[in-house]
Amino acid sequence: MRLAKRVQNLKESPTLAVTAKAKTMKAKGWDIISFGAGEPDCDTPDNIKEEAIRSIEEGFTKYTKVGGIDELKDAIIEKFRRDNGLRYSMDEILVSCGGKHSFFNLCQALVEEGDEVIIPAPYWVSYPAIVRIAGGTPVIVPTNEDGGFRMTPEMFESHITPATKAVIINSPSNPTGAVYSVDELEAIAEVAVRMGVLVVSDEIYEKLCYDGTSHVSIASLSREMKGMSIVLNGVSKAYSMTGWRIGYAAGPKRLIKAMTDIQSQSTSNPTSISQKAAAEAIRGPQDSVLKMREGFKRRRKVVVDGLNSIDGVSCMEPAGAFYVFPNIAGFLSKRYNGTAVNNSVDFANFLLDEAEIAVVPGVAFGAEGHIRISYAVSMEDVEEGIKRMREAVDRLE
Ligand SMILES: *Cc1c(COP(=O)(O)O)cnc(C)c1O
């Protein structure tokens, strides 16, 4: 059997691969602490679960409109107005089976052979993969710690070519936690509008901003910018609903219509029950979100201070999300038990074998010399994991 060209270079998402390896080791009796997960550690709030149970009992278990039920779209429209100062109509919203699916639909509707999509690195692993599946070419713009892992307008502009279709802004960012300031977004918006480049704004972590920074949607900066933006969001991270698979997109009618048509010929509607639950999440009480954010904020401090206290590790304190992206370049070219540690994958394997902690190698996000640590784990695990890491790197020679 000869598989299609589009899957020949496709790999399993490396974040899922590390989590899977850690799970296997755990099942075999290893005492693994996993910093690999890309999801909150708390349960979905009760009011949301109860809404789902009610909708099952009431028989809300059939096909719905392909692009999402009106009730959920209304809640999303109201959320954009309330949280982001953005006004959308029903036909400018599409509900999909997760934020990842929203991005997939977008690329299928927008990108074809020869098209370029600008992606600042470190990036969410799915962006380049999904652009490639659509036949497009990811154009990676490297950023570094000195610049706070944020792309400047100059870096953006210098990567634009006649083939550029879109640029991706993910603020707060997975994997770095970086948050763009309003001034930085204004400057990027200016370039996008002047050069006619669509901005894909992935705002899935908007509820997780710390230190008084608040999330601003680039689409809200001006009327022109709104017309040049597609905003991606969802309930996975803010409401700890990763398994429910609800994400959404908001943008120009013509694009949303094309994305909806793709969805109608692939998955059809997202799960009816999940849509009801998501509506409750978005318009119900928001206190669980604040509580979760406070918990993350406490752990962020412990993880950042802990990492910076390890000789050879340096870690920027990020303003959002639940990840840190420490620099571990100082350990590369060292050895343990005769094995060389040459790159971030070797280092992640070293931590798994020698410290029984699971992290994701930076190279998965397009940034060698780093690892991603998710602090969506208990405070005890954060403290124990840092301690193990300190002891393990001491043994590198
Ligand atoms: C988790 C995540 C998403 C969306 O995840 P879904 O579970 O598919 O909704 C989108 N973008 C980034 C950067 C993420 O980390």
pTM: 0.96
Report the alpha-carbon distance of residue 22 to residue 270 in Å, rounded: 30
In the reported structure, the alpha carbon of residue 390 is separated from the centroid of ligand 1 by a whole-number distance in angstroms of 31
**Best substitution site from 104, 237, 239 to test ligand 1's pocket, by max atoms within 8 Å of Cβ?**
237
Where do runs of H (alpha helix) occur along 33-92? 46-57, 70-84
**Where are the CATH 3.40.640.10 domain residues in the chain?**
46-283
**Best substitution site from 123, 201, 204, 323 to test ligand 1's pocket, by max atoms within 8 Å of Cβ?**
204
Query: Which residue has a Cα nearest atom 5 of ligand 1?
Result: 99
Burial of 332 (0-12, 13-18, 19+ CB in 10 A): middle
- Banded model confidence at residue 15, pLDDT cuts 50, 70, 90: low
Residues 119 and 107 sit within 8 Å (Cβ to Cβ) = no
Task: Return the structure tokens found at 157.
Answer: 């502009």
Closest-lying ligand 1 atom to the alpha carbon of residue 247: 9
Query: Which residue has a Cα nearest atom 3 of ligand 1?
Result: 99
For the domain covering 46-283, report its CATH number: 3.40.640.10
| pLDDT of 9 | 76
Does the structural domain 5-43+288-393 have CATH classification 3.30.1360.120? no
Closest-lying ligand 1 atom to the alpha carbon of residue 235: 9
Q: What is the pLDDT of residues 27-55, one digit of tens each?
A: 999 999 999 888 999 999 999 999 999 99
**Where are the CATH 3.90.1150.10 domain residues in the chain?**
5-43+288-393
Place of tokens 């509707």: 109
| pLDDT of 7 | 85
Name the residue among 176, 184, 170 with its Cα closest to residue 234. 170
Closest-lying ligand 1 atom to the alpha carbon of residue 202: 11
| pLDDT of 22 | 81
